[in-house]
Copies of this chain bind each other. A is one copy, B any other.
Amino acid sequence: MLPRMLEIVDHGSIRELRLARPPANALDPGLIQGLRAALATAAEAGGLDAVVLSGTPGRFSGGLDVPALLELGRDGIRAAWHAFFGLMRDIATSEIPVVAALTGHSPAGGTVLALFTDYRIMANGPFALGLNEVQVGLPVPDVLLRALTYVVGTRHAERLAVSGLLIDPAEALRCGLVDELVPPDQVVPRAVAWTRELLSRPRFAMTDTRRRIRRPLVQAFDGLDDEALEAVVDLWFSPETQTTMRALAARLGKGRSGG
């Protein structure tokens, strides 16, 4: 029951999940649900050893589909965030490696997904990434702050998150937000090659070490109870957030796109 907005390409035992929801691969509830289902299927399917999460040329994901979410009421927003946090947790706790092939722009939710993967390969080109939530009026939830800190350390995490900076691939490499830059058409092949190398390791030793060292990424969700989720929903409906996001959505205008 894979939604058409998600394409599957198997490279031997490595399954590429390619975001393909024009124009921006923005994450709406349907795509989030589709991704969760596809990850679960990959982990349970016989013969699949890893997942590469990719996008279309020039665009990994524009992040949450703000215009779509703005049409939802409180229950819908609660469900959307519940699903989005669930997707992050699925990646963080995946028993098989998940590698990010950042084929282009990856702001906000695009970067969020990458934070929880095993490794981040980025297209070297005029693309932007980063947790720019603050720029669109949304305080960054603690789970994301902890994951960002895991990846880039405390100083860069503070600098990037508080200003909501969008940065280019070169700066992302310098501060550790991505692990490698390659030419755009090499992102997926390189991600597959990196993953294949990882899978060449004695499987139990690799898997057991991986599970234990990634514990802090899983513990990032420890405080995410119903109350914390409700606080995120409250923030979403705060006047500043609504005003900023509606202005953004209006700017994106007719060419309905992600933010």
Q: Which of the candidate stretches A28-36, A56-64, A71-79, A133-141 sits at the interface with the other chain? A: A133-141
State whether A163 touches B197 (Cβ < 8 A): yes
Stretch at the interface among A3-11, A100-108, A201-209: A201-209
Does A162 contact B210, Cβ atoms closer than 8 Å?
yes
Query: For this complex, into which size category does the number of interface residues on chain A fall?
Result: 35 or more
Q: Could you say which of A14-22, A39-47, A153-161 contacts chain B?
A: A153-161
Q: How far is the CB of A151 from chain B (nearest CB, A)?
A: 5
Whether B145 pairs with A209 at a CB distance below 8 angstroms is: yes
Roughly how many angstroms separate A153 CA and B145 CA in the complex, as a whole number?
16
In the complex, what's the smallest C-beta–C-beta distance from A118 to chain B, in angstroms? Answer: 7
Query: What residues of B have a CB within 8 angstroms of the CB of A159 in the complex?
Result: 119, 179
Complex Cα distance, B166 from A197, in Å, reads: 13
Q: In A166-191, which residues have CB < 8 Å from any B CB?
A: 176, 179
Whether A158 touches B202, Cβ cut-off 8 Å, given contacts A197-B163, A208-B139, is: no
Tell me which of B154, B201, B208 contacts A135 (CB under 8 A).
B201
**B154 near A150: Cβ-Cβ < 8 Å:** yes
How near does chain B come to A252, taking the closest CB pair, in angstroms?
17
Tally of this chain's copies:
3
Contacts of A197 in B (CB 8 A): 163
- Asked whether A201 lies within 8 Å of B134 as measured between CB atoms, the reply is yes
CB <8 Å contact, A164 and B240: no
The answer to whether A134 touches B205, judged by C-beta atoms less than 8 angstroms apart, is yes
A-B contact pairs, 27 of them (CB 8 A): A134-B201, A134-B206, A137-B202, A137-B204, A139-B204, A139-B205, A139-B209, A139-B212, A140-B212, A149-B213, A152-B155, A153-B154, A153-B155, A154-B216, A155-B176, A158-B214, A159-B179, A161-B209, A161-B213, A162-B206, A163-B198, A163-B201, A163-B206, A164-B209, A202-B240, A203-B240, A204-B238
